[in-house]
Structure 1
Amino acid sequence: MGLPSNGGHEVYFRAPQIIMVLILMVSTSVHGAHFDDAFQQTFGGERVKTYGSGGDHLSLSLDQYSGSGFTSKKDYLFGRFDMQMKLVAGNSAGTVTTLYLQSDPSTGRHDEIDFEFLGNASGHPYTLHTNVFGEGKGSREQQFRLWFDPTNEYHTYSIVWNPRLIMFLVDETPIRVFLNHEKHGVPFLKKQPMKLYSSLWEADDWATQGGLVKTDWSKAPFTAYYRNYNVDTARGGKWWTHDLDANSRRKMRRIQKKNMIYNYCQDAKRFPEGYPTECKHYKF
């Protein structure tokens, strides 16, 4: 088939070439060498810093004047998203460090997949807060105590998002799965592309022990560190059909039994008229 170019000449394409172009348009894989290539600042000014070899590391800081954050330059519809993070050390009470996917807020149909790390007083463990919003409906919180100190060294936090499920992983260990239950009337995130975000901000009215422990600004600035990001949206990869094998199911059950401290699907006081629909079909 022939397509006229701007100069009036006909340019002929073979079908396999067209197919390859279309694949490249919808499939991307971005690996974390230079943060400036794939991300841009959302707020915080000089509190967002890239450093290292060619900008392969990034840090966010929080002081009494402002927090900071960044987002991906591209939007993605499904994919695997990995980030190595080292959280705020010492007394991090009142601080929240986040890693999340979010749709365009202007649509009015809010989709979001959340990791939130709630700081604490020195010597106390971080709380890992997870949530899923579908078409504006959230309130699907699960919280965990991490089984390591996330401030000593980098750990990998991952989101796998495909048409069947949303999976949260820590160092390749699955901790939570949210399945597609559209057939039961539960909205699933599959219509809106999302950007990958991260931020560090102050929320001492609720973040630490329900707001009982406040931020000690004499410890500021508070800093979190990032490296080795990965965004894989090349359909046909392992993430596209990712599921839990028997070993992964055992690992997740063990983490949930030992480290989960809150599950909305077990909060009878919050849902006196019955748990949300997806809770009734929860398999794991």
Structure 2
Amino acid sequence: MGNLGILLVALVSLVALNQGLVHAHFYFDTVFTLGSQNSTIWDNGDNLALLLDKVSCSAIQTNKEFLFGSIEMQIKLVPGNSAGTVIAYYMPSTGSKHDEIDFEFLRNLSGQPYIIHTNIFTQGVGNREQQFYPWFNPTSDFHNYTIYWNPSQIVWFADGLPIRDFRNYERFGIPLASKQSMRGYSSLWNADDWATRGGLIKIDWKNAPFIARYHQLSLRTCTWTGPPDSISQRAQTTPAANWWASPLYGKLNDVQKVQLNWVRENFMIYDYCKDTKRFNGQFQPECKR
């Protein structure tokens, strides 16, 4: 399938995923957690900017916790030479055995592409990174990034295309991030100790301030309001009234599988399941599935 065909079916997939989408607002649905002096919201809560300078980073989080559904934002990444900066967009739970679903956007030198970095933590264990080059310019316009999860799978989308799918293999003893509620977070911060070529390239502060822009936060989630000790029981129930429990969303459809393979074959640059040197040949068990 050619690039145009891939992008056309991506629009169809995104429409299907967004049925019943709840448009949220940065004013009412998030709070600043770091660097409020480096953050601003405008246009009735539809637009947000986070800023990084030598004084402070900046970050937001959702007011509410969620258990299953999708969270999406349109983000315009930092332009120019912003090597060493990272925009994180992720869903974590709390505690030492936390679950977490990550997007991180690693900036490089001018003229070199951003890296879309993904990871998942289950019961406090991560080391499940996959990385991709974008097939678009993520700094010239807003692009849609979605984290979708239910008891069957977790999927990372970019502009409606699935770039990664982490399936439920609990029957094989592989935990899924499905038993702890999470909040949505995003931050712009200094990660020049590791983000660009393993920390070899440091931030050039002459280019500061660095600004990331956000548009139209959308939450289509199951808000969690129960006590923590009842999360595990609730997480394993899938009442028919919840859209995410529909068999339609239990696995990627045939079109999405084609899209996923297209992204992996053309734009994946790192896969933890193929890093024999790092793991000394001892891969995570899901790599065999």
Q: TM-score, normalised by structure 1?
A: 0.85
Equivalent residue for 1:237, pick from 214, 221, 243:
243
2:108 is matched with 120
Going from structure 1 to structure 2, the CA distance change for 1:49 and 1:262 (only over 3 Å counts) comes to same
1:93 is matched with 83
Where 1:135 maps in the other structure, the secondary structure is: coil
1:22 is matched with none
Deviations 1:171-207 (Å, cap 9, x if unpaired)? 1100000011111111111111000000000011111
Tell me the number of residue pairs that the alignment of Structure 1 and Structure 2 aligns. Answer: 250
Where 1:159 maps in the other structure, the secondary structure is: strand
Q: 2:45 & 2:120 partners in 1: Cα distance?
A: 31
State the 1:238 CA deviation: 5.6
- What is the aligned-residue RMSD (CA, Å)? 1.5
Equivalent residue for 1:31, pick from 23, 37, 42:
23
Alignment of 1:82 with 2:72, yes or no, is yes
One-letter amino acid of the structure 1 residue matched with residue 105 of structure 2: F
State the 1:45 CA deviation: 2.1
Higher alpha-carbon deviation: 163-172 or 107-116: 107-116
Where 1:270 maps in the other structure, the secondary structure is: helix
Where 2:213 maps in the other structure, the secondary structure is: strand
Equivalent residue for 1:158, pick from 124, 136, 146:
146
Is the helix fraction higher in 1 or 2?
Answer: 2
Alignment of 1:181 with 2:169, yes or no, is yes
Unaligned runs of 5+ in 2: 1-19, 223-240
2:202 is matched with 214
Q: 1:214 & 1:273 partners in 2: Cα distance?
A: 32
Equivalent residue for 1:147, pick from 130, 135, 154:
135
2:183 is matched with 195
1:251 is matched with 259
1:129 is matched with 117
One-letter amino acid of the structure 2 residue matched with residue 45 of structure 1: S
Alignment of 1:73 with 2:63, yes or no, is yes
1:3 is matched with none
Unaligned runs of 5+ in 1: 1-27
Q: 1:108 & 1:65 partners in 2: Cα distance?
A: 29
Q: 1:214 & 1:270 partners in 2: Cα distance?
A: 24
Alignment of 1:40 with 2:31, yes or no, is yes
State the 1:239 CA deviation: 7.4
Alignment of 1:260 with 2:252, yes or no, is no
Going from structure 1 to structure 2, the CA distance change for 1:239 and 1:51 (only over 3 Å counts) comes to farther
